[in-house]
Structure 1
Amino acid sequence: MKRFSLTALGFAATLSALSACSFGPDGKPPMLPSVPHYGANAQPARTVTAEGVSQSFDAGAKPVPEWWKLYRSEPLNALVDEGLRNSPSLAATDKTLAAAREQLRAQVGSSMLPSVDLGGQADRERAIGVPNLGPPTVLYNLFVGQIRAQYTFDLFGASRLADRALAAQVDSQSWQFDAARRALAANIVTGAIGAASLGAQIDTTERLIVLADEDARETQCRYELGSASRSDALNAQSSAAALAASLPGLRAQWLATRHALAVMLGRTPDQAPPDLDLASLTLPANVPVVVPSELLASRPDIQAADSLLKAAAAQVGVATAQMFPSLTLSASMGQAGFSWPTALSGAGAIWGIGASLSQPLFHGGALLAQKRAAQASYEAAVAQYKLTVLAAFRNVADSLAALEQDNQALNFADTASRTSMSAFTDSAARARLGAIPPSAARASERQYRNARLSAIRYESARLSDTASLFQAMGSPNGGTANVAAAEKTAATAK
């Protein structure tokens, strides 16, 4: 007895030592080089002044949670709120996340707690008898009712590691939901800005077409009077027709943008919202630029990649633990008999208790192959994490560069628009006094309208790229309440 006790203690100590060992990587993300700034060139402290506004890049500032409200437009805020509330794509992502959490709870419950089942059976059977020892057939009833319990000891952590892997995957889905939510808000903002810009461009282009048609009619009259050549009349008609040909494509783009915006809001395309007024949008003068080292925690996509990295590390441990023994205990008790009175009496009591120990010996190399596959998947997750971080840095760098160039381009376009407007005002006044012909005034207005067309494009680009930069900065405090809920669920598996 003493010898058996010593053997049992030694076996238990060996199991404890093995279960304490790490069967896989720790899942920590790889160290990446620290960068002083995002782009090839250091971003300036602020942009050039365009339309009276110079945007400041606040280095080290925290991301803004509801950044779209900085545009100070109630109609825009209403669109974003409606989209976050009614978007079918966001609702589908949310329900998929909820399903993943329930699957995690189910797996944790089935792996960490014993299973208890209640069963009942009532049969009437006809069996073939044994020759020369009894009747040729036996006809009998069988009644059984029992409770059965079973529990598999997680000696080497295979179940705990599997739960941890699934918890990390659910955590990744939580971050993906947060990323989808923020991406939807950014898409609604840029879609609304794009529709408003295209609408303004259509209005300006329509006026340019009116001017071109007037020039074409005047040139045709001059040709009929002999003061202009046929070539001049044909060239004027060709220019008017070419300008008119650009309008259908612009309208199609405008309608497609409005239809896409309606779908993001959860509406049908025929219920597309009216265009915003670009002039009603206030450009945010201060834009946060998160320190590169802190971007890893604020970007949901990086956090999602980090969670998948932890899941892949846990899967390596699962594949390793499956190569070690497993111990299962089972017990059952109930009543049985060939009649109801017998089954319900004390004579019908049945019970059983057992234990099974299984050690894999030969599986045709499958277990080793699964471990190598899990290790390769982990290494792929490490590479994917690095790629995600680099892509995030590039996203921020591109957004900073685009916003800086937008301000410079808008500065020149605004200058051209204002100077050409002054020239047009002077020409219109002189034309009314008869000092210059109407065609000269139209040429001056045409120059102004073209300059204004460029200014509209750069103005909307600056508004949209500002939204993209806010989006690129990620979320303050690492995400939304959905992520916190997922982490709480994941803690039950650790």
Structure 2
Amino acid sequence: MRPTLNFFLPTLLTVSLALAGCASLAPAHERPVAPVASDWHAPDGAAPGARTAAELGWREFITDARLREVVELALQQNRDLRVALLNVQRAQAQYGVQQADRLPSLSATGGQTAQRTPGSLTGTGQPVISRQYTAGVGISAFELDLFGRVKNLTDAALQQYLATDEGRRSTQISLIAQVASSWLTLAADQERLQLTEQTLKAREDGLRLTQRLQAGGISSTLDLRQAEIAVEQARSDLASLTQLVATDRNALELLVGAPLQAGHWPVAGSAEAATLTAELPAGLPSEVLLQRPDVLQAERSLQAAEAQIGAARAAFFPRISLTASAGTASNALDGLFKAGSGSWSFIPQISLPIFDAGRNRAQLKTAQVDRDIAVAQYEKAIQTAFREVADGLAQRATLGQQAQAQQRLVAQTTDALKLAEARFKAGVDDRLATLDAQRSLYAAQQALVQVQLSQQLNRVTLYKALGGGTLTETQAAAATPRQSGG
């Protein structure tokens, strides 16, 4: 028995593994040509030699300590990111399942068979009870992967796992950008609310002055009504912005996935320098776009589709499977491991497709169409990424000019309001000129906050579009050893 166990199964395993995976019928992977221009068609504006977005970790890009804490909390608590991480773990487990098919499965068995034969069949008139005991190890239906069918299925599962991991990275970068944008939007709306409160106070003071002047016969009823209208408009804006700030807070807490403490909310004047103000270099599309996780995810999905073609092609060829076992058998339990009780079985099986009503051809055609779909999705991912970067660069080129013009407008309308108030107090103009100047200053201040917010959001958008932090995360992942699953 021992020579049988020690020689038969190891020899069979060696031969099986040597024959398995000898060929692959999958097409060779060639990265499709990027269907975009060779440059962004937009001015860069960044200083030469500056660090790229991919090299800049988000903790370096975000300079405000409060915002960094909020992003850290979101990376721990956000449910979408948690689902993305679980999807990676699920894809990794599925890859492990598929990878196991490339190796034989050994199983140990033990059993007893008891049979009673009636006396009418024994010839002696007495019933006979026979027993048989068996024990052994064996391989069940192991496929010799001569044409790479199992190998290609394993490669497809691996690429799907890697694509899912790239999807997790893309979700993480998007989450960081969304949290930063939501936080900055809340800060801007809080500033607009503060401006509205100051404007309402100024208009209420003006209304009280107009009421006194009207009571003294100096101001007209029209001036009084205009002052009342200005106050009500400010009150309406105050109510609207109060509601907007509340919804901004709710949206930010939903992104974070947990209630925020008082120290997490933005304070007045902190949002303008919340992110790195240095311009990020755009670089060449061929270098930047291929670093983005969503583009890498699309390419991994394309490679998985190509591996499925190899598996579909292998279905046209013979499939050989082996079932074998070696062990011991005896009609008595105490004789199970005695000399001379060894047993073995070897059952090779070959299956050759002859007629399947076009099933294999249809499956191959499906795999080829899936590959073509994956190519189109990869190209669309490239085009979408190109547009995001180009739009961000185009906005960056003009937002600075808009901000400077808006700052000059605020300064000019502030002087205009001072002149209007002086002329009103001197009796040169009526109250209407002062109210018009107040409205112009209020609109200019609100517009300046919006332009400054657009500048900040543009920085965040470009950081995300240029693949912010992807190289640093890849380096960190490479430096961290993976834990083996239990």
User: Structure 1 residues 289, 264: CA separation in 2 closer, same or farther (over 3 Å shift)?
Assistant: same
Normalising by structure 2, we get a TM-score of 0.81
Q: Contact 1:262/1:272 (CA < 8 Å) preserved in 2?
A: no
Aligned-partner SS, 1:44: coil
| Separation of aligned partners in 2, 1:475 and 1:291 | 15
Partner of 2:291: 298
What is the identity percentage for the equivalent residue pairs of Structure 1 and Structure 2? 24
Structure 1 regions of 5+ residues with no counterpart? 1-14, 47-55, 490-494
Counterpart in the other structure of 2:376? 383
Contact 1:61 1:289 survives alignment (8 Å): no
Residue of structure 1 equivalent to 2:107: 117
**Aligned residue number for residue 107 of structure 1:** 98
1:8-407 equivalent positions in 2, closer than 5 A: 20=23, 23-33=25-35, 35-38=37-40, 42-46=41-45, 56=46, 58=48, 62-63=52-53, 64-67=55-58, 69-70=60-61, 72-108=63-99, 110-122=100-112, 141-150=131-140, 151-216=142-207, 233-234=224-225, 236-268=227-259, 273-276=264-267, 277-281=270-274, 284-346=277-339, 348-407=341-400
Unaligned runs of 5+ in 2: 1-17
The alpha-carbon deviation at position 255 of structure 1 amounts to: 2.1
- CA–CA distance in 2 between the matches of 1:135 and 1:402? 102
1:254 partner letter: V
Is contact 1:295–1:474 with CA below 8 Å preserved after alignment?
yes
Return the alpha-carbon distance in structure 1 between the equivalents of residues 117 and 398 of structure 2. Answer: 90
Letter in 2 for 1:32: A
Q: Aligned pair count?
A: 460
Aligned-residue offset at 1:58: 4.9
Q: Is the 8 A contact 2:122 2:128 kept in 1?
A: no
Aligned partner of residue 414 in structure 1, secondary structure:
helix
Rounded to whole Å, the distance in 1 between the matches of 2:79 and 2:117 is: 61
Q: Equivalents in 2 of 1:242, 1:125: separation in Å?
A: 98
Q: Distance in 1 between matches of 2:303 and 2:225?
A: 71
Counterpart CA distance in 2 for 1:207 and 1:105 is 63
In 1: Cα distance, 2:469 partner to 2:60 partner: 16
Q: Secondary structure of 1:287's match?
A: coil
For residues 433 and 127 of structure 1, what CA distance do their matches in structure 2 show? 128
Letter in 1 for 2:251: A
1:236 shift after superposition: 4.4
Where 1:463 maps in the other structure, the secondary structure is helix
Letter in 2 for 1:377: D
Seen in structure 2, the aligned counterparts of structure 1 residues 283 and 451 have a Cα distance that, compared at 3 Å, is farther
How big is each residue's C-alpha offset from its partner over 1:200-223, in whole Å with a ceiling of 9 and x where there is no partner?
Answer: 011111222334444555556666
Shift of the alpha carbon at 1:172? 0.9
CA distance in 1, matches of 2:449, 2:465: 24
Aligned CA distance change for structure 1 residues 338 and 415 (closer, same or farther; 3 Å): same
1:410 Cα deviation after fit: 1.4
Aligned to 1:408: 401
Instruction: Measure, in 2, the Cα distance between the counterparts of 1:153 and 1:340.
Output: 36
CA distance in 2 between partners of 1:104 and 1:186 (Å): 31
- Which amino acid letter does the alignment assign opposite residue 74 of structure 2? G
Q: Does 2:460 correspond to 1:458?
A: no
Q: 1:251 to 1:338 in 2, by over 3 A?
A: farther
CA distance in 1, matches of 2:27, 2:425: 83
Q: Look up the equivalent residue of 1:168 and give its one-letter code.
A: Q
Shift of the alpha carbon at 1:127?
A: 6.9
In 2 relative to 1, CA 133–218 (structure 1 residues): closer, same or farther, beyond 3 Å?
farther
Any residues of structure 2 matched to 1:402-441 within 5 Å, and which? 402-424=395-417
Q: 2:348 is paired with a residue of what secondary structure?
A: strand
2:409, 2:126 → 1: CA distance? 111
Root-mean-square deviation (CA, aligned residues, Å) is: 3.7
Q: Distance in 1 between matches of 2:122 and 2:426?
A: 135
Structure 2 residue matching 1:284: 3-state secondary structure: coil
User: Does the CA contact (< 8 Å) of 1:82 and 1:265 recur in 2?
Assistant: yes
- Is the Cα contact below 8 Å between 1:427 and 1:441 reproduced in 2? yes
